[in-house]
Structure 1
Amino acid sequence: MKILHTSDWHVGKVLKGQSRAEEHKQVLAGVIEIAHREQPDLVIIAGDLYDTAAPTPEATRLVTRALTALRRTGADVVAIGGNHDNGPALDALRPWAEAAGITLRGGVREDPAEHVIDGTTADGERWRLAALPFLSQRYAVRAVEMYELTAAETTQTYADHLGRIIGRLTEGFDEPDRVHLVTAHLTVVGAATGGGERDAHTIMGYAVPASVFPGTAHYVALGHLHRAQRVQGPCPIRYSGAPLAVDFGEQENVPAVTLVEVTATTAARIREEPVTAATALRTVRGTLAQLAEITPPEGWLRVYVREQPRAGLREEVQQLLPRALEIRIDPELVPAPGSGTRVAQRSGRSPRQLFADYLDSRGHADDGVRELFDELIEEVDH
């Protein structure tokens, strides 16, 4: 059978105020075109369909249409909830999804049978998929344990709990003549982050060892980390990565989907298929004079300005580079925290004095910034 594995769509993403709705339409159209061309038996979307738990009607429309279009290629379609998704809201769409022939699993339910999905390809090959949506630590570990255990013990408890859940869902994976699959939205120890994930849900407290997956699985389709990569483990384990770089930290990633060909008796053959429709994210740096001389690269820009901060600097950069979404003073010019600067004494001092101390500590010598602050203070006072 052939599987198309994708994840972390993050539909509804706004980057520094810039909507990416049109890019997402093109990206998902690219994923659908790959599905038409490759004719997979099964499409797995491993979580984070949306960028927010309260998606706009436009984002909801785009995701439901994409799922429907993938189903119309003839493939079975299974999608699970990620940490950015609203699990109960996805589960509320299950009647629509089932009518459309799509399998949705938004949140973790008590009945293990809810998360074990059986199917048969058009050629008669049987498959079973254990589908585990994102499970936060506070639900995986009882509240009383969170207070009684050390951080290391709590982390281990979470990993143990996930291991027990996956073990329960994959109990029947020793049956011959069937392809055994797992999909989950989580962090595996040793995997590399993509650069734009939400830190609160990718820290090591949420990481589990690859050993939680059974050696009898033919393929494990993961979501959560945005960089496409293989993870060493007892079976083939892979993150498909995001098909669109969601933040500037991901500008070096290669957006793609993963294609897998496997049978019950042969090892998985895995390859990446690039998705190139999104606008590239690029970083440029230099003084104003240097920025004025460069030919701006195609894409959305992050600009590191090698100038001392002053009022109006952002506007000058924006005039030179209209596609700059993020403009910062070059980090090399910013003093590191605690690098010998004294901490301002707050008691008995005015906001103007405290702000002046802050500017001095950061190397800001521009009087225009102080004047703007004074105007704000006057507005607040009156």
Structure 2
Amino acid sequence: MRILHTSDWHVGKVLKGRSRHEEHIRVLGQVVEVARAEQPDLVIVAGDLYDTAAPSPDATRVVTRALSALRQTGARVVAIGGNHDNGQALDALRPWADAAGIELRGSVRDKPDDLIIKGETAAGERWQLAALPFLSQRFAVRAVEMYELTAAEATQTYADHVARLIGRLAEGFAEPGVVNLLTAHLTVVGASSGGGEREAHTVMGYAVPATVFPSNAHYVALGHLHRSQRVIGPCPVRYSGSPLAVDFGEEENVCSVAIVDVSVDKAARTRDVPVTSARSLRTVRGSLDQLATVNLPDAWLRVYVRETPRVGLREDVQELLPNALEVRIDPDMVPDKAGERMAQRAGRSPRQLFGDYLDSRGNAEEGVRELFDQLYDEVSTQQ
């Protein structure tokens, strides 16, 4: 069977005040075109459909239309909630999703069997997918336990809970003649962060070892980290990455979706199909004269200016580069005030430094310097 694996759409993302609505329409349109060309049996969207838990009507329209278009290619479509999504709100859309033939799982419910999705390809190949939405540490580890546990113990407890849940979901993987699949939205220890993920949910407290995945899974489709990558584990494990760079920390990422060919008796074969519809994100550095030669009309820019700070410098840069969303002074141009202060203090006694401080504050009250001298002598003598 063939799978199209994608994740981390982050529809509704605003970059430095600039909407990326039109970019998302183009990007997801290209993902649909890839699905039409590749004809997958199953499309997996591994979380973070939205960038915020309260998406706008426009963002909701983009996501629902993209999911519907993917379903219209003839593929089964499964989407799970990520840490940016509102899991309960996604679950509220399930009547629409069921009517559209889309499997939507926003959050972990009381019935684990609800997270098991089964199907059969047109060629008669049976498959089953365990779909695990993002599970927060606060939900997995009861609040009272978090207060009593050390950070390391809480991290291990979270990983243990996830492992037990995945083990419960994978109980049916022993059935012969079925392609066993798993999708989840989480951080795996040792994987490379893509640069744009919410830091609070990528720290080690939310990370699990790859050993939580069952060895009899034929493919594990992960979301959450934005860089496409394979993860070493007991079975084929992969992040598809985001189909567009979410922020400037991801400008070196190659945006893509993963196409996976897998069967019961053959190892999963994966290839990335680039997604190029979004504007690239680029960082440029230089003086105003050097920036005037930059020719990147189709990229969003982060600019480090190598000029002395002055009023109006940002406006001058944005006049040269209208797509500059972020303008900063190059750190090399910022005086090292801490170093200057250290140099000014070098070789001077505490009495002299305190006297300079009083002078800078305009404090000429009699006796203050003498009192400082007395206190300093007492402390020095005790030491």
Task: Give the TM-score normalised by the residue count of structure 1.
Answer: 0.87
Larger CA Rg, structure 1 vs 2: 2
Q: Which residue pairs with 1:253 in the alignment?
A: 253
SS of residue matched to 1:173: helix
Contact 2:297–2:323 (Cα < 8 Å) also in 1: no
Compute the displacement of 1:290 (Å): 1.7
Q: Which residue pairs with 2:204 in the alignment?
A: 204
Distance 1:188 1:10 in 2: 20
Letter in 1 for 2:151: A
Q: Which residue pairs with 1:318 in the alignment?
A: 318
Distance 2:287 2:333 in 1: 12
Give 1:1-382 correspondences, 5 Å limit: 1-296=1-296, 298-334=298-334
Compute the displacement of 1:330 (Å): 1.4
Contact 1:115–1:130 (Cα < 8 Å) also in 2: yes
Change (3 A) 1:217 1:329: same
Residues 355-378 of structure 1 show CA distances to partners (whole Å, capped at 9, x for unaligned) of: xxxxxxxxxxxxxxxxxxxxxxxx
Change (3 A) 1:208 1:313: same
SS of residue matched to 2:53: coil
Q: Which residue pairs with 1:366 in the alignment?
A: none
Distance 1:258 1:199 in 2: 25
Letter in 1 for 2:323: R
Letter in 1 for 2:227: R
SS of residue matched to 2:173: coil
Distance 1:145 1:294 in 2: 55
SS of residue matched to 1:172: helix
Distance 1:236 1:312 in 2: 54
Change (3 A) 1:145 1:338: farther
Residues 117-154 of structure 1 show CA distances to partners (whole Å, capped at 9, x for unaligned) of: 11111111111100000011100101111111111111
Distance 1:184 1:291 in 2: 43
SS of residue matched to 1:293: coil
Compute the displacement of 1:294 (Å): 3.3
Distance 2:120 2:111 in 1: 23
Contact 1:35–1:70 (Cα < 8 Å) also in 2: yes
Distance 1:68 1:214 in 2: 31
Compute the displacement of 1:338 (Å): 6.6
Residues 181-219 of structure 1 show CA distances to partners (whole Å, capped at 9, x for unaligned) of: 000000000000111111011111111000000000000
Task: Give the TM-score normalised by the residue count of structure 2.
Answer: 0.87
Letter in 1 for 2:174: D
Letter in 2 for 1:22: E
Distance 1:312 1:334 in 2: 17
Compute the displacement of 1:166 (Å): 0.5
Distance 1:334 1:238 in 2: 42
Letter in 2 for 1:159: A
Q: Which residue pairs with 2:380 in the alignment?
A: none
Distance 2:56 2:199 in 1: 24
Distance 2:17 2:337 in 1: 28
Change (3 A) 1:244 1:336: farther
Distance 2:97 2:329 in 1: 48
Contact 1:221–1:239 (Cα < 8 Å) also in 2: yes
Distance 1:339 1:69 in 2: 59
Change (3 A) 1:318 1:161: same
Distance 2:48 2:341 in 1: 42
Letter in 2 for 1:321: L
Percent identity, aligned pairs only, is 73
Higher deviation after alignment, 81-90 or 299-308:
299-308
Residues 319-367 of structure 1 show CA distances to partners (whole Å, capped at 9, x for unaligned) of: 111110111111334468976758xxxxxxxxxx9xxxxxxxxxxxxxx
Identify unmatched segments of 5+ residues in structure 1: 343-352, 354-382
Residues 278-334 of structure 1 show CA distances to partners (whole Å, capped at 9, x for unaligned) of: 111111001122212333463111101112322211111111111101111113344
Letter in 2 for 1:274: P
SS of residue matched to 1:290: helix
Contact 1:282–1:297 (Cα < 8 Å) also in 2: no
